[in-house]
Amino acid sequence: MEVDGVKARLFVHGNAQPTLVVNDLKQGAFQGQIGFWIGPGTIGHFRNVKVTKK
């Protein structure tokens, strides 16, 4: 995941192109934090998560 201001790009399995692009991250009192939400009643597994700031 690359974060640049209010934009974020998520890369999966080392792909050169991002799988997900978010152009309007919500900032405010919690600047500098990232949360992963998978939905109610579901299970998510994360491994080797790397976050970089440009």
Q: Residue-wise pLDDT tens for the chain (54 aa)?
A: 888 888 889 898 889 999 999 998 876 555 677 778 888 988 888 888 887 776
Provide the residue range defining the domain that includes 36: 1-54
Number of domains in the chain: 1
Q: Name, in order, each residue with C-beta under 8 angstroms of 2's C-beta and a sequence gap of 6 or more.
A: 8, 9, 11, 18, 52, 53, 54
Q: Looking at residue 51, what is its pLDDT?
A: 79
pLDDT of residue 1: 85
